[in-house]
């Protein structure tokens, strides 16, 4: 029996493939390489000493997806494939709804047709919207401020309705907080196209001299140092959370949401200081205007994942910084 990983050459997917292979699972990856490189597969295989099966395929390709289920004995699906840039989703909402929602519908139809009803889905803390107070618990009302966030809320609803219609499905909705860092081998990591939108890849590129300085988006938030607070989680801890969720969906039926975060909030300035301490590199910065759509503070109550999945994050902010930096130094141009 194999685990199908959609989006498995991407940032979180590649780290999860390493954990799956290390744990002895057979792994099949489907990815259209729209935001990742085929080289990730070599690196995953190099780290683990194991091989996986790769299909370069768009999950919207129904016949192609049926073929994957036809050719393999699949026990469960970990569904990462999706577009994830918030700003781009505002510019191109139809592409986001088409890719993320229709893609998930095609995947679910293929799963139903082949009697595969175990799924772990990549949701996001963005589903908590602007109005809830941290620490965030899974039972809070959901809302979104951009099409990307709405795709996550809509997909969660589609999966809830699917389970409601057929109680033999088993689904974990994993709401990630802010994944950063890289595998400690320095061989897989986050490989953004162009100018990074997210904080940590921007910091590592400043440290590497590729960008002059960090712009800190807002220093007048209602937080101790005025900069935004987030719950950063090491991507390897996050990947391990998927294995715990996978065990749960294989062993039982139902649908549940779980926060995957550390429960600790760090400000932008905290992250800059931690990075400088962990790596010895100085990060020049300037204060800039707030970024539209950002909130002051967002961190998890991760206790449900601990109670029900037996998972908690182990790595600290220094591990996250050191590992992100090792990836940047070893791969100055990402996978290229």
Residues annotated as part of the active site? 148
Instruction: Between 60 and 154, name the residue whose CB sits nearer to ligand NAD.
Output: 60
Residue of 96, 97, 202, 325 that binds ligand UDP (CB under 6 A): 202
Phi, psi of 30 (to 5 degrees): -115, 125
Choose the contact partner of 253 out of ligand UDP, ligand NAD, none; CB within 5 to 8 A by kind: none
H or E segment to which residue 260 belongs: strand 254-260
End-to-end alpha carbon distance in the chain = 33
CB of 268 to ligand UDP, least distance (A): 5
Choose the contact partner of 259 out of ligand NAD, ligand UDP, none; CB within 5 to 8 A by kind: none
Q: What is the DSSP letter of 208?
A: T
Residues in the interface with ligand UDP (CB under 6 A) total 14
Residue 197 binds ligand UDP (CB under 6 A)? yes
Residue 74: strand pairing partners: 2
CB of 331 to ligand UDP, least distance (A): 20
CB-CB contact of 306 with 312 (8 Å): yes
Residue matched to tokens 């190099």: 46
In whole angstroms, what is the distance from residue 153 CA to residue 141 CA?
A: 11
Binding site for ligand NAD (CB under 6 A): 7, 9-13, 30-36, 58-60, 80-84, 99, 103, 122, 124, 176, 179
Judged by CB under 6 A, the chain residues 230 through 249 that form the site for ligand UDP are 230
Judged by CB under 6 A, the chain residues 271 through 310 that form the site for ligand UDP are 291, 294
In whole angstroms, what is the distance from residue 235 CA to residue 177 CA?
A: 10
Alpha-carbon dihedral of residues 263, 268, 274, 276, nearest 10 degrees?
160
Residue of 178, 205, 262, 328 that binds ligand UDP (CB under 6 A): 178
Q: Which residue is nearest to ligand UDP (CB)?
A: 228
Stretch that binds ligand UDP, among 163-171, 185-193, 198-206, 249-257 (CB under 6 A): 198-206
| DSSP-derived pairing of the beta strands 26-31 and 118-124 | unpaired
Choose the contact partner of 216 out of ligand NAD, ligand UDP, none; CB within 5 to 8 A by kind: ligand UDP
Residue 97 binds ligand UDP (CB under 6 A)? no
Stretch that binds ligand UDP, among 11-19, 102-110, 137-145, 197-205 (CB under 6 A): 197-205
Q: CB neighbours of 206 closer than 8 A, spacing ≥ 6?
A: 212, 213, 214, 283, 284
CA angle 52, 241, 175 (to 5 degrees): 110
Residue 268 binds ligand UDP (CB under 6 A)? yes
Instruction: Between 156 and 270, name the residue whose CB sits nearer to ligand NAD.
Output: 156
CB of 211 to ligand UDP, least distance (A): 9
Q: How far is CA 98 from CA 20, 65, 146, 187, in A?
A: 29, 16, 15, 32
Choose the contact partner of 241 out of ligand NAD, ligand UDP, none; CB within 5 to 8 A by kind: none
CB-CB contact of 327 with 11 (8 Å): no
Choose the contact partner of 202 out of ligand NAD, ligand UDP, none; CB within 5 to 8 A by kind: ligand UDP
Stretch that binds ligand UDP, among 63-71, 192-200, 255-263, 308-316 (CB under 6 A): 192-200
In whole angstroms, what is the distance from residue 68 CA to residue 321 CA?
A: 38
Q: Exposure pattern of 193-207 as b/e (b: 16+ CB <10 Å)? A: eeebeebbbbbbbbb
Positions in the binding site for ligand UDP (CB under 6 A): 178, 197-199, 202, 214-217, 228, 230, 268, 291, 294
């Amino acid at each position: 029996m194999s685990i199908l990983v959609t989006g498995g050459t991407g940032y979180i997917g590649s780290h999860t493939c390493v954990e799956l292979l290390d744990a002895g699972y057979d792994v099949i990856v489907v990815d259209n390489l729209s935001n990742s490189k085929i080289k990730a597969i070599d690196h995953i295989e190099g780290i683990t000493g194991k091989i996986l099966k790769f299909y370069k395929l768009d999950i919207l390709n129904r016949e192609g997806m049926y073929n994957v289920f036809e050719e393999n004995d699949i026990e469960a699906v970990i569904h990462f494939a999706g577009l994830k840039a918030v700003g781009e989703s505002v510019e191109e909402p139809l592409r986001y709804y088409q890719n993320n929602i229709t893609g998930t519908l095609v995947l679910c139809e293929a799963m139903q047709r082949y009697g595969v009803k175990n799924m772990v889905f990549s949701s996001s803390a963005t589903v908590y919207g602007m109005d809830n107070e941290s620490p965030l618990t899974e039972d809070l009302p959901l809302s979104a401020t951009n099409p990307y966030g709405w795709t996550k809320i809509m997909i969660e609803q589609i999966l809830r309705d699917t389970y409601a219609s057929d109680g033999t499905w088993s689904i974990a909705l994993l709401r990630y907080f802010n994944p950063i860092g890289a595998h400690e081998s320095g061989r897989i990591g986050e490989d953004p196209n162009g100018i990074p939108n997210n904080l940590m890849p921007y910091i590592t590129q400043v440290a590497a001299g590729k960008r002059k300085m960090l712009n800190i988006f807002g220093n007048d938030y209602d937080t101790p140092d005025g900069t935004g607070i987030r719950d950063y989680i090491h991507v390897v801890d996050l990947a391990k959370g998927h294995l715990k969720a996978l065990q749960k969906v294989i062993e039982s039926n139902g649908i549940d949401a779980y926060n995957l975060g550390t429960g600790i909030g760090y400000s932008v300035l905290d992250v800059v200081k931690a990075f400088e301490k962990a790596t010895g590199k100085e990060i020049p910065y300037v204060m800039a205007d707030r970024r539209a759509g950002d909130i002051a503070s967002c961190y998890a109550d991760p206790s449900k994942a601990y109670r029900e999945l037996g998972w908690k994050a182990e790595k600290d902010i220094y591990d996250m910084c050191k590992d992100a930096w090792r990836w940047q130094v070893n791969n100055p141009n990402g996978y290229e």
